[in-house]
Structure 1
Amino acid sequence: MKLMRVKEMEEYILANGTVSLDKLCQVFNVSKNTVRRDINRLAEKGVIKKVYGGVTAIEKMPLIPFENRTIQNKAAKIKIAHYASRFIEDDDLIFIDSGTTTQSILDMLDSTKQVTVITNSLDIINTAATLENINLIVIGSNFKRQTKSFVGMDDPASLDKYNINKAFMAATGVSLTHGLTNSDMLEYEIKKKISEKANEVYLLADHSKFGKSTLLTYAPFSRLDCIVTSKPLDQDYENYCHEHNINIHLV
């Protein structure tokens, strides 16, 4: 767990640029002495430097544009989405999250299945509009070009009326400590509400997303029912999933 914490702390600092020692203690729920030991290891690696009262990243992690994220691990993302479509059943009411890993999930859906899809993803909307068996519900009040998604809701409580069977979620970062994370407050509102509402939560994430965290946690790791990913997870994840009955599917 120590090595995983140090790795997650590194990702957190790189994502946020400059972080105080007090904030690291709060986020990782450890003492200041423990934080000091961990950042000493990171300073030795040369990824951060210590400043008065905290640390700063030597090179802050850039926000990757949606188009470039689509290219990164593209084959794995398509396989993950196609595999996940097998979990969609007749008469399901499902939510499909925006993101580069979820955008292909309807491509392999059995054309005879009658399904209601709730989404804020422009790619999913465009695909669903061509499928006669799909009843499409669009949410989100503002279009965000960077992620090709509709974000923000005038009344988030309006989602309460939908009995969502399954939510197929994406994440910018995934960790045992911080759960499923993203960086956009307006996307966060929808993701959090859906994750709380759905009967089952499926995470679609390639191997590069694990061991990382970004600004906002929209769901704890324990909320998951199933993970579809591209490579075996570290043993800590395997153990946690086994203990909490979270199914892992590799593609």
Structure 2
Amino acid sequence: MKTKRLVKIEEYIHTKGSATLDELCDYFGVSKNTIRRDINIILQDGSIEKVYGGVKSVVNYGLTPFEHRNIVHATAKERIAQLAAAQIKPGDFIFIDSGTTTRSIIDYLPNDINITVLTNNLDIMNACALHPNIALLSLGSHYKRETRSFVGLHMEAKLSQYNISKAFMAATAVSIHSGVTNSDLMEHEIKKNLVQIADEIFLLVDDSKFEKATLLTYMPLADVSTVVTNNPIDNTYRDFFEEQQIKLLIAE
């Protein structure tokens, strides 16, 4: 219930632009002490800031609906997903992040492959359910329609029990300076904890994502093991990947 309320409070503030504490208390039917505790949690990720008598949004999340984002660069995303799927071997325990590029990975796996998949994305769960030899584990407790994924707070304890061999991660934007970023507070919580426990991190991004940044950095770009993208990229990034010993896979 608390996680769901935090999501709703965050969405309310970003939709309205700002809100007083009294307004939030009335709208969500909770005490001022409860609102203050909730606000303090959301403040930790920097998406809002305190103002006199309340809080205001410091970013326009601008989340494009999932079905619309899936149309943009669709061919490139399919090729990236196919190349990423080729990196999965029988016996792997993998995490597949929620995203319009990562969602197609399962479609390119052999029907009889024997692996374990951990995910928080509804479409990936449905795809895994069609593979009899895939053991499926899920994350998150609250369904977020905008991203077709399940989210939640305080994931450290739950994730620490898993030995993830490969994590296939999505991102809203990527840059050398800002790292690997996303725009959703609740998904950020899962991403930043997951990449800390995975043996290998595969970053799946089409060429439109480079040299951009959004609000929340969930890992430095140097922490990525392999970048899977679709077009030859700028030499600045090629040099950086070589220097950091990051493998680069190009989906032609």
Do they superpose with TM above 0.5? yes
Matched, 1:193 2:193: yes
Mind listing any 5+ residue stretches in structure 2 that lack a counterpart? 1-59
DSSP-derived class of the 2:86 partner: helix
Q: TM-score, normalised by structure 2?
A: 0.74
1:62 shift after superposition: 4.3
| CA deviation after TM superposition for structure 1 residue 153, in Å | 3.8
Post-superposition shift, 1:61?
8.7
User: How many Å separate the matches in 1 of 2:83 and 2:142?
Assistant: 30
Deviations 1:30-53 (A, max 9, x none): xxxxxxxxxxxxxxxxxxxxxxxx
Match of residue 212 from structure 1: 212
Paired residues for 1:88-167 under 5 Å? 88-167=88-167
Cα displacement string for residues 81-109 of structure 1 (whole angstroms, at most 9, x for unaligned residues): 01100111111100000000000001111
After TM superposition, which residue ranges in structure 1, 4 or more long, deviate above 6 angstroms? Answer: none
Query: Is contact 1:139-1:153 (8 Å) kept?
Result: no
What number of residue pairs does the alignment pair up?
A: 193
**Alignment CA distance shift 1:179-1:155 (3 Å):** closer
Identity, % of aligned positions: 48
CA deviations on 1:123-150 (whole Å, 9 max, x unpaired) are 1000001110100000011100000000
Q: 2:177, 2:238 → 1: CA distance? A: 14
Partner of 2:73: 73
Stretch of structure 1 that moved more, 210-219 or 148-157: 148-157
* Structure 1: tracts of 5 or more residues without a match: 1-59
Following superposition, the deviation at residue 63 of structure 1 comes to 3.3
Q: Which secondary structure does the structure 2 equivalent of 1:192 belong to? A: helix
Q: Is the 8 A contact 2:112 2:132 kept in 1?
A: no
What is the CA deviation profile of residues 169-196 of structure 1, one whole-angstrom value per residue up to 9, with x for unaligned ones? 0000000011110111110010001111
Q: Post-superposition shift, 1:154? A: 5.0
Q: Aligned to 2:203, what secondary structure does the other structure show?
A: strand
CA–CA separation in structure 1 for the residues paired with 2:205 and 2:119: 18
> Structure 1 pair 237/67, CA: closer, same or farther in 2 (3 Å)?
same
- 2:181 paired residue number: 181
What SS does structure 1 have at the residue aligned with 2:238? helix
- TM-score, scaled to structure 1: 0.74
- The answer as to whether partners of 2:63 and 2:183 remain within 8 angstroms in 1 is no
CA RMSD of aligned residues (A): 1.5
The corresponding residue for 1:172 is: 172
Q: Distance in 2 between matches of 1:222 and 1:146?
A: 29
Q: Is 1:203 the counterpart of 2:233 in the alignment?
A: no
Give the residue type in structure 2 aligned to 1:72: V
